[in-house]
Structure 1
Amino acid sequence: MRQFPQKPPAATGAAQAPQPLLERPALRPAGARQVLRDVGRPYLSNGLIGFIFTASGPIAVTLAIGTVAGLTQGQLASWVFGILFSGGAATVIMSLLYRQPLGFAWSIPGTVLLGPSLEHLSFPEVVGAFFTSGALILALGVTGVIRRIMDVVPMPIVMAMVAAVFLRFGTDIVVSTQANPGIAGPMVAAFVVLSAVPALGRVLPPILGTVLAGCFAVAVSGQFTPGEAGPFLAAPVFTAPEFTWAAQLELMVPLALTVLFVQNGQGTAVLRAANHRPPVNVFAIASGAFSLLNAAFGAVSACVTGPTNALLTSSGSRERQYTAAVAYGVLALACAALAPTLTRLMVATPTEFVLTLGGIAMLRALQHAFVTAFATTYTLGSLVTFVVTLSGIDLFNIHAAIWGLMVGCTISRLLERADYSEPRRQEPVDHP
């Protein structure tokens, strides 16, 4: 097991130099030549899978919430354009700058929060909350408080929260195989065969083989059902915000907390577990800035995404994984303009195809989350965090993952004091 070199401790009595607010890249930003040297088939495959995953189920959730709220087709297309454009732009810029796979998307828990609110709030009021929550995220990022909070929470407890959130991706494989064996069965079989026979896996990466097997099964089964024709290109729509106390009190703080601690917390934990050093403060600042951009398109907040980053870091050399994020970001930017067409294609695909693909792609990340959470220390706090997060408790419109972290950390502090007296390993560690 190889650990990253630790910084030497400061001399006794000497003041330790404060960390800069904006984390500086450890390497020179990657240019076009560097990307072409580092890119390869596994990274392109991971980027493609990450994009398929992000642009399928999450978009379906977005469309479902927006349709129930009575949004027009133009507003829905503008929403999809905004989240794809901001996610792609943020991912490409950040990944090239830090030469790490830093994948951005949009807040699905935040989108789900909007469902009940849109039943009694107008869409302009909700857009007003988008603007203020983006400003709050940006302000908290500028203060540097987010990194300090992240550094206080032990990594096993954070990964227990991640394991609880990711668990449904694993169970989705079983449920989908039972519900639609003609689609899920060939996908599972392709993944197992390509993983079990390394010679085949080197020619066709297992995840890419899973996609191809699924596409073939969908085509043969005749389960691809495109809807009515509609606009080909997106036409972004600006919705003038309305700032009301009712919407601000109900949505502003929950949206900001969801982005900073549920979404960005997952993304940070996944990247650290994959031996990267994500810039936590810059994450918060970028999330706030791109959330304001999203709000201009009538779209929910931008964030760092845990599942997508798990896919982008699922294989290959750590130093070259940023190219998977660049591929993902470029695909998102290219498809932003085709948002209406992309949406129709994704919705026409059987649900089991998306669920099985996402579950198989997330298996290694789920395995690592459980190992990190329960293998060494803070195991009771990790278990409490896992159970509370998995319960789906929703008090004061605040996501269960936040309650899981708070309750788990409290129990751990009270009952696992010995673990806090030992040096904690917050730095990434390479596993054999």
Structure 2
Amino acid sequence: MGQPDRYFSEQHDEVHKNKGFLRDITSQNVSSGFISSTLVMTGPALIILQAAAAGHFSDQQTINWMFAVYFFGGLFGIIMPLLYRIPITGAHSISGVAFLATVTAHFTYPQLIGGYVMSGLIIFLIGISGLFTKIIKWVPKEVIAAMLGGLVTNYVVQIVPDVKAMPIVGGAALLSFFISTKISNRIPAVMVAVVVGFISLFLTQDLHSASKGIAFFLPSVQTPEFTWMGLITLGLPLAMLILSNDVAPGIGALESSDFEPPIRKIVSFSGVFSIVASFFGGQSANIAGMMTAICSSSDAGVKSKRYMAAVVSGVLTLFFGVFAWKIVPFIQSLPEAFVSMLAGFALMGVLISSLQQGFSENKYRLSALFAFLIALSHVSFFHISAPVWGLVVGAIIAKTVES
């Protein structure tokens, strides 16, 4: 009788698990999910608009981009945690957007789409092959981190002239950022700065939010153009940034919280969702490092129920993408200095963590420094962008001079 009893017990547990995920919603995981989604819906959205402006995107192309990364990133963040009952949180790559802001002007729109598709395919192949850890080890993490630091430095530095241009709004946002950093680790200081910045802007400036209206339209499938240059200067570095700055930290956050993440499946599905998002104009839809860290931490409540924080985050992120056609015109109506300042706040944490990871050890300081400086320069040679040269030169110095 032991075997049948165990079988029916397992079946009962499975039915209960499938029916009872709504019972796992708690105030703690809802709060963590809300904070997680707010992070990706504020600063990163502004950086997307900056990158779209740099590439001279049309309104429909911009809204397609916003829809793709938030809808499919949110869908990833709903399906994965429900499948595996661990807080695998989905979004898109903020470091990928920061990278694209420097290269969108160098490609046609179809070439960008082709680069996104190739990036997603690379991630998928790396996932199913188990090569993830080997590729990450080939380029020292210090070099990758320093290159990312060089990419985002100009965005963060822009906070200074933006605060000078809007002293009341900028000063209030900056002050609230420091106060929040001092008194609370629970609520991200970036989110507080964004909220205070918006409140200050509405109170002190006469915003003519009769921003140009954009009619609703169904997101459309985009036609990619595949080129070798797109593979080398767009697909490969974008895939490496997503793997090293989103996938690796996300998996690391789960492991540090004593979860057992299905690594190959997480990487593979990040590739699949990124490929789908790319055909709608988005660069990626994948596991999000910082958001997964929030949803998997003890602040999200009982460990067995933390996966619901990722689900809540995914639902909010998905709806943000659905209403991109309404949100984009509003954000476009904001003062340019204000948008730039909030983007700087959103990337401040990325810059700090990149510099810490890039220069905390003595072994690769020279290679990390050159990767940082080359990426910071935004100089391209032979139509190959500065971030790629930063990775190449940094890896060569690391493997020869500092090995």
Tell me, in whole angstroms, the C-alpha distance in 1 between the residues paired with 2:22 and 2:111: 43
* Shift in Å, 1:184: 0.9
* Shift in Å, 1:383: 1.9
The answer as to 2:37 corresponding to 1:47 is yes
Query: Is 2:45–2:66's contact at 8 Å kept on the other side of the alignment?
Result: no
Tell me which amino acid in the other structure corresponds to 1:373: G
Tell me which amino acid in the other structure corresponds to 1:251: G
The answer as to 2:254 corresponding to 1:266 is no
Query: Is 2:76–2:286's contact at 8 Å kept on the other side of the alignment?
Result: no
Residue 230 to residue 388, structure 1, CA distance change in 2 (3 Å): closer
The answer as to 2:90 corresponding to 1:99 is no
* Shift in Å, 1:66: 4.8
Q: Secondary structure at the match of 1:55?
A: helix
**If the length of structure 1 is used for normalisation, what is the TM-score?**
0.71
Query: Is 1:164–1:390's contact at 8 Å kept on the other side of the alignment?
Result: yes
Match of 1:317 among 297, 303, 325: 297
Question: 1:333 maps to which residue?
Answer: 318
Tell me, in whole angstroms, the C-alpha distance in 2 between the residues paired with 1:35 and 1:166: 36
Q: Secondary structure at the match of 2:26?
A: helix
Residue 311 to residue 167, structure 1, CA distance change in 2 (3 Å): farther
Tell me, in whole angstroms, the C-alpha distance in 1 between the residues paired with 2:73 and 2:147: 23
Match of 2:157 among 151, 155, 171: 171
Match of 1:115 among 98, 105, 109: 105
Question: 1:78 maps to which residue?
Answer: 64
* Shift in Å, 1:186: 0.7
Question: 1:21 maps to which residue?
Answer: none
Residue 193 to residue 86, structure 1, CA distance change in 2 (3 Å): same
* Shift in Å, 1:280: 6.4
In terms of fraction of residues, the more helix-rich structure is 2
Tell me which amino acid in the other structure corresponds to 2:373: V
* Shift in Å, 1:188: 0.8
Q: Deviations over 1:106-126 (max 9, x none)?
A: 8433475443332xxxx5676
Question: 1:17 maps to which residue?
Answer: none
The answer as to 2:227 corresponding to 1:248 is yes
Match of 1:229 among 213, 235, 253: 213
Match of 2:141 among 129, 138, 155: 155
Q: Which moved more, 1:268-277 or 1:215-224?
A: 268-277
Tell me, in whole angstroms, the C-alpha distance in 2 between the residues paired with 1:125 and 1:393: 20
Tell me which amino acid in the other structure corresponds to 1:301: Q
Tell me which amino acid in the other structure corresponds to 1:256: G
Match of 2:327 among 342, 346, 371: 342
Tell me which amino acid in the other structure corresponds to 2:34: L
Match of 1:401 among 384, 387, 400: 387
Question: 2:177 maps to which residue?
Answer: 191
Q: Secondary structure at the match of 1:48?
A: helix
Residue 152 to residue 368, structure 1, CA distance change in 2 (3 Å): same
Tell me, in whole angstroms, the C-alpha distance in 2 between the residues paired with 1:128 and 1:65: 15
The answer as to 2:206 corresponding to 1:220 is no
Give 5+ residue unaligned stretches, structure 2. 1-16, 301-305
Q: Deviations over 1:56-80 (max 9, x none)?
A: 231342255253xxx5x54543343
* Shift in Å, 1:373: 2.3
Q: Deviations over 1:250-279 (max 9, x none)?
A: 424433213211333222455477685787
* Shift in Å, 1:334: 0.5
Residue 280 to residue 265, structure 1, CA distance change in 2 (3 Å): farther
Tell me, in whole angstroms, the C-alpha distance in 1 between the residues paired with 2:217 and 2:381: 37
Number of positions where the alignment pairs a residue of Structure 1 with one of Structure 2: 371
Tell me which amino acid in the other structure corresponds to 2:243: N
Match of 1:301 among 283, 304, 307: 283
Query: Is 1:163–1:386's contact at 8 Å kept on the other side of the alignment?
Result: yes
Counterparts in 2 of 1:271-282, with a 5 A limit? 271=250, 281-282=264-265
* Shift in Å, 1:347: 1.1
Tell me, in whole angstroms, the C-alpha distance in 2 between the residues paired with 1:335 and 1:148: 36
Residue 238 to residue 101, structure 1, CA distance change in 2 (3 Å): closer
Tell me, in whole angstroms, the C-alpha distance in 1 between the residues paired with 2:224 and 2:188: 49
Q: Secondary structure at the match of 2:227?
A: helix
Overall identity of the aligned pairs, in %: 21
Query: Is 2:370–2:390's contact at 8 Å kept on the other side of the alignment?
Result: yes
Residue 143 to residue 228, structure 1, CA distance change in 2 (3 Å): same
* Shift in Å, 1:390: 1.9
Residue 127 to residue 416, structure 1, CA distance change in 2 (3 Å): closer
Tell me which amino acid in the other structure corresponds to 1:292: I
Residue 171 to residue 325, structure 1, CA distance change in 2 (3 Å): farther
Question: 2:274 maps to which residue?
Answer: 291
Residue 404 to residue 92, structure 1, CA distance change in 2 (3 Å): farther
Query: Is 2:378–2:386's contact at 8 Å kept on the other side of the alignment?
Result: yes
Tell me, in whole angstroms, the C-alpha distance in 2 between the residues paired with 1:314 and 1:173: 26
Q: Deviations over 1:355-388 (max 9, x none)?
A: 3334334444433332332223322222222222
Residue 101 to residue 388, structure 1, CA distance change in 2 (3 Å): same
Q: Deviations over 1:366-418 (max 9, x none)?
A: 3333233222332222222222222224345444333323322221232333x
Residue 280 to residue 205, structure 1, CA distance change in 2 (3 Å): closer
Query: Is 1:182–1:217's contact at 8 Å kept on the other side of the alignment?
Result: yes
